[in-house]
Amino acid sequence: MVSAGPGAGHAPIPLSPEQSAAVLRERCLGFLFGFPSLPIELAGVIWQSNGELPVVVMRRARIVSEPVTDYIRYEHAITPLHLQAGEDVRWLPRRRASDISLPGNDFWLLDGRVVQFHHFTGTGDWAPDGKERTTDPAAAALCHAAFETVWERGIPHEKYTVQVP
């Protein structure tokens, strides 16, 4: 979801996967051409417990090839927004992940038991069947073990410097 305007009081507008990819490409291109202040908001997202909901810990680990691509450089530059929202982010250079058994696709692991795999096209866009959710215990165990190993080796965002060509 993307906010209709900075602080304008508009309700977020739901976007299709194709529209979301176009917005992301626009923001990334703006960053690459020196316009990193494009409006990016976290409006409407609840990140803290109100006393009735359990506190959720959000950890994000990124395995990256070095030198990084322009898109990864962009992701690194906007990661402070994730940190402000309460996420903890670590980066692991791919050369330090060679001996880790990793799932074949990017994933989110929810509560240690639900895995949502993300499928992309060869150009990096969401595939038509871009999300696959499973509660298979073996898949959850693989993803949990992989994530914890990557997390242990990962470099906290504040200490990771992107390597550019």
Q: Does residue 110 sit within a domain?
A: yes
CB atoms within 10 A of CB 54: 6
pTM to 2 decimal places: 0.70
Residues 93, 136: one domain? Answer: yes
Residues 65, 41: one domain? Answer: no
Residues 14, 66: one domain? Answer: no
Residues 117, 140: one domain? Answer: yes
Is pLDDT at 48 greater than 70 in this prediction? no
Cβ–Cβ under 8 Å, residues 119 and 130? yes
Q: Does residue 71 sit within a domain?
A: yes
Task: Report the number of distinct structural domains present in the chain.
Answer: 2
Where do we find the tokens 């810990």? 57
Q: Please give the residue range of the domain that contains residue 18.
A: 1-45
Residues 72, 146: one domain? Answer: yes
C-alpha 141: how far from its chain's center?
A: 21
Say what percent of the chain tops pLDDT 70. Answer: 66
Q: Does residue 35 sit within a domain?
A: yes
User: Phi, psi (5° rounding) for residue 163?
Assistant: -100, 115
Quickly state the pLDDT bin for 20 (edges 50, 70, 90).
low
Q: Does residue 1 sit within a domain?
A: yes
Residues 34, 101: one domain? Answer: no
Residues 37, 60: one domain? Answer: no
Is pLDDT at 36 greater than 60 in this prediction? no
Residues 145, 69: one domain? Answer: yes
CB atoms within 10 A of CB 154: 24
Pull the structure tokens for residue 77: 């530059």
Residues 26, 84: one domain? Answer: no
Pull the structure tokens for residue 58: 């959000």
Residues 27, 69: one domain? Answer: no
Cβ–Cβ under 8 Å, residues 86 and 48? yes
Residues 88, 37: one domain? Answer: no
Q: What pLDDT does residue 39 have?
A: 44
Q: Does residue 165 sit within a domain?
A: no
Q: 115 pairs with which residues across the strands?
A: 109, 134
CA distance 78 to 31: 10
pLDDT digits (tens, 9 = 90+) for 94-113: 999 999 999 999 998 988 88
Distance set, CA 91 to CA 26, 96, 104, 139, 150 (Å): 24, 11, 18, 23, 9
Residues 63, 99: one domain? Answer: yes
